[in-house]
Each structure stands twice: as structure tokens, then as C-alpha cells.
């Protein structure tokens, strides 16, 4: 094992055509040498004893870990460092030239991660959430249709009767009515929601200096994520509700419904029900993400969870994406379903009020509180929970599949922690 002074003898300097910095065992100005600090980061030699890895700094600024090589087995070592305008980046030195102009001096560079990887990681993170929404929404589209029939149309039929009626009147495709628009709405919503939660939770950890998020931090991050996603995605949800409502077929699809709402009620009609949406999504997001992460944290700190993490580390790259899931596929589905059910049950009345607000026209428009009172007067307290059973039947598989696909896609896309 070489020490730092044996890894590199610094007496004089030469400059390569690609701005590489070369230091050899010849004589040279000691004033420059004194400004260069070498510190062994990891020093080793190969079979030919001609490689050493050191850390170098110039004028107090670390240039990063670099490798040095000895030229042709002769005395003296060579340090090749390419200086970049980007701080902390050690670039490729290319073809390097020695004292006599020959290019027999081999250079080995250590390239650090370049700027811009953060944007790429964000894109992959958003894609993971979007794919999760696409898969889960397509899978549970029939249940979503049943829920809307109860909420928007005020359907009085039993669940079995409603299923038979849709099948008879619209065929099998009737259960996926509006699914494409639903995907357009939920894909960006889920992508933003998942990503915003990870960002907010990460920032709270930095703010309070904790290694792991507390329960209150999880709930706070979930609430903020729900509000963020709602503000950005509510217009698409409003348009979809209008299209599914009675008479929505005559509006001519997505563009027609958008044009109709803008022309008849103005731009802000796209934000009908914003207040109850925000009021519902804050606790909904808090419960959804908070419950899942609490369950996940409890498992990972249990003996079984610690053993699983240890086995995963030992398995390394030999494990497939499903095997790399921290909770495993079954437990991920289960915890996602529990989190979704808790969230839906806690905030369902807000959902009912929001849908009714979105259906109102300007002439008979009521506020959120007045709308809630009207619903109770017409149908009692139970009217605030109209469609809860089909909604829970929809939420359980939706939340479970969302979390499974999201965690799976983060592994496949190699998403780094936010």
C-alpha cells in the first residue's frame, strides 16, 4: 500500500493539449507545488504497481477523486486532471502529451454525475406515478362508472340492477365510458401527487433534521401533496363530471365540453367545487400517504422486515423488480388497499358535495355549505355517503394497484429518492 507521497511526486508541471494538468518528478516552481494539496482517498496498486487513486485540491477547492499512473514503468507518477467550469466535475482528459511530445502517458478519469440528472430523475418519478394511475384506473373503470351513477344521477337502483341496466343499454364498453378522459385527469394528478409527497416529506426531513419522517410529518406532507395536485388538475375533473352527467353526450367530447363551459359560464367554472375539493384532498392525502407509510415503517422496523431488507441487500442485482420491493408484492397491495379505504371513508362526504357543486349552473348556484345542507334535507345524512360501497369497491383495488405499480416503476426506472 502506497502512502500519499509515494503515490505522487510533485516537482514540476506540464499542460496537455486538452487542458490536463501533469505533474512529474522533475524540478519546478515550488510556489505552485505548495498550492496543491494531496490527500489519499483510497490508495491501491494493480498487478503492475502503476495505479494509485488520490484526492486532489487546488487553492482550497477539491478537484475530486482522480487516478494517477506511472509512465512506462519509469520513475515518477503522472496526475491528469481536467478542469471544468462546473464545480466538482473531473472531465475526460483525452489524449495527453509528455515532456517530449509523445503520447505514451495513459490517463484515467473519474467522472462525477453531471448536472441535469435531477431533471431526469424528476421526469422518471412523474412517469412512475402516471403509469400507476393509468393501470389502476383502467382496471377499476367499471366501479368508477357505478360510483358516478349513484353520485351524479342519484341512482336508486340496487348495485346488481344498475350493473344489468348498464350492460343492457350500453353493452360492455359502457362500463369504461369516460375512461380515457379519466386517465387524462388521473395520470397527471397521481404523478404530481406521488412526486409532491416525496418532495414535501424530504424537505420536512431536512427542515427538522430527522433521519426518518415522524407521523405528523407524513400527514403534513400528504396534505400538502393533495392540495398541490388538486390545484393543478381540478379543471379536467370538472369537465369529466359534466360529460358523464345527463346531457353530457351532446356536448361533443372533451373539446366540446370545455368550449361549452368557457362560453356559458366562464373560465372559473372549471374550478367549480374548488373549496370542498381542497378541504377534502388535504385530509385525504394526509390519511392516504400517512397510513401507508406508518404501516410500511412499522413493518421495516420489525424483525421480519429487517430480515427481508438484509436478504435483499445480499441478493443484489440478481433480484427482479418485484423481489426488490421493500414490502413485497402482497404486502404492498394490502397496505395500499388499507390506506385507500381509510382515506375514502374519512373524506367521502366532501366528494359528494364537490360533485354536486360541479353539476350546478350559474342560475341556481349554491355555496358549499348550502349545497351540503340541501343534500341532507333531501336525502338525510345517508345522502352524504351515497355510493360509498361501490366507491370503496373501487378504491380498494385502485389504491392497492396504484402503490404496487408505483413502487414497481420506481425500481424499473431507477428513480432516486427525492
Give tens-digit pLDDT for 200-219.
999 999 998 888 888 899 99
Which residues make beta-bridge pairs with 54?
Answer: 66
Give residue 240's pLDDT band: very low, low, confident or very high (50, 70, 90): confident
User: Residue 158: CB partners within 8 Å, gap ≥ 6?
Assistant: none
pLDDT at 152: 63
pLDDT at 362: 64
pLDDT at 384: 85
Query: Which of residues 141 and 113 earns the better pLDDT score?
Result: 141
pLDDT digits 0-9 by tens, 248-279: 667 777 788 888 888 888 888 888 878 878 88
Report, as an integer, the average pLDDT of 347-374.
78
User: Residue 193: CB partners within 8 Å, gap ≥ 6?
Assistant: 129, 225, 226, 228, 229, 285
Query: Which of residues 101 and 190 earns the better pLDDT score?
Result: 190
Overall residue count recorded for the chain in this entry: 418
Determine which of 51-60, 140-149, 364-373, 397-406 has the lowest per-residue pLDDT on average.
51-60
Which residues make beta-bridge pairs with 12?
Answer: 24
Cα(323)–Cα(315) distance, integer angstroms: 9
Cα(374)–Cα(95) distance, integer angstroms: 80
Compute CA distances 342 → 23, 291, 292, 310, 372, whole Å.
66, 8, 10, 31, 22
Neighbouring CB atoms inside 10 A of 390's CB total 23
Amino acid at each position: 500500500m502506497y502512502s500519499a507521497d509515494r503515490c505522487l511526486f510533485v516537482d514540476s508541471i506540464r499542460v496537455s493539449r486538452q487542458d490536463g494538468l501533469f505533474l512529474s518528478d522533475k524540478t519546478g516552481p515550488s510556489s505552485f507545488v505548495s498550492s496543491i494539496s494531496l490527500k489519499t482517498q483510497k490508495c491501491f496498486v494493480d498487478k503492475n504497481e502503476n495505479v494509485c487513486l488520490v484526492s486532489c485540491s487546488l487553492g482550497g477547492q477539491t478537484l475530486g477523486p482522480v487516478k494517477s499512473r506511472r509512465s512506462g514503468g519509469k520513475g515518477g507518477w503522472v496526475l491528469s486532471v481536467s478542469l471544468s467550469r462546473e464545480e466538482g466535475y473531473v472531465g475526460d482528459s483525452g489524449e495527453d502529451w509528455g515532456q517530449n511530445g509523445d503520447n505514451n502517458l495513459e490517463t484515467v478519469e473519474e467522472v462525477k454525475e453531471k448536472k441535469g440528472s435531477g431533471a431526469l430523475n424528476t421526469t422518471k418519478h412523474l412517469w412512475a406515478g402516471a403509469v400507476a394511475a393509468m393501470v389502476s384506473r383502467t382496471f377499476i373503470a367499471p366501479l368508477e362508472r357505478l360510483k358516478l351513477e349513484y353520485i351524479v344521477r342519484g341512482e336508486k337502483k340496487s348495485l346488481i340492477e344498475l350493473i344489468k341496466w348498464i350492460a343492457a343499454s350500453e353493452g360492455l364498453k359502457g362500463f369504461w365510458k369516460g375512461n380515457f378522459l379519466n386517465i387524462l385527469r388521473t395520470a397527471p394528478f397521481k404523478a404530481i401527487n406521488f412526486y409532491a409527497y416525496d418532495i414535501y416529506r424530504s424537505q420536512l426531513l431536512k427542515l427538522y433534521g430527522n433521519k426518518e419522517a415522524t407521523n405528523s410529518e407524513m400527514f403534513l406532507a400528504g396534505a400538502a401533496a393533495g392540495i398541490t395536485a388538486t390545484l393543478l388538475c381540478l379543471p379536467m375533473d370538472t369537465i369529466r363530471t359534466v360529460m358523464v352527467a345527463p346531457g353530457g353526450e351532446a356536448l361533443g367530447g372533451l373539446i366540446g365540453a370545455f368550449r361549452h363551459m368557457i362560453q356559458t359560464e366562464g373560465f372559473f367554472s372549471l374550478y367549480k367545487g374548488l373549496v370542498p375539493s381542497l378541504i377534502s384532498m388535504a385530509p385525504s392525502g394526509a390519511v392516504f400517504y400517512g397510513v401507508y407509510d406508518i404501516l410500511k415503517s412499522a413493518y421495516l422496523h420489525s424483525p421480519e422486515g429487517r430480515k427481508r431488507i438484509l436478504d435483499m441487500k445480499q441478493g443484489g442485482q440478481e433480484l427482479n423488480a418485484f423481489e426488490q420491493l421493500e414490502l413485497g408484492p402482497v404486502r404492498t397491495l394490502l397496505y395500499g388497499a388499507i390506506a385507500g379505504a381509510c382515506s375514502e371513508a374519512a373524506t367521502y362526504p366532501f366528494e359528494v358535495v364537490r360533485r354536486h357543486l360541479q353539476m350546478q349552473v350559474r342560475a341556481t348556484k349554491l355555496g358549499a355549505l348550502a349545497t351540503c345542507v340541501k343534500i341532507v334535507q333531501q336525502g338525510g345524512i345517508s345522502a352524504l355517503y351515497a355510493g360509498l360501497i361501490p366507491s370503496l369497491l373501487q378504491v380498494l383495488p385502485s389504491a392497492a394497484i396504484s402503490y404496487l405499480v408505483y413502487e414497481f416503476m420506481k425500481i424499473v426506472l431507477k428513480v432516486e429518492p427525492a
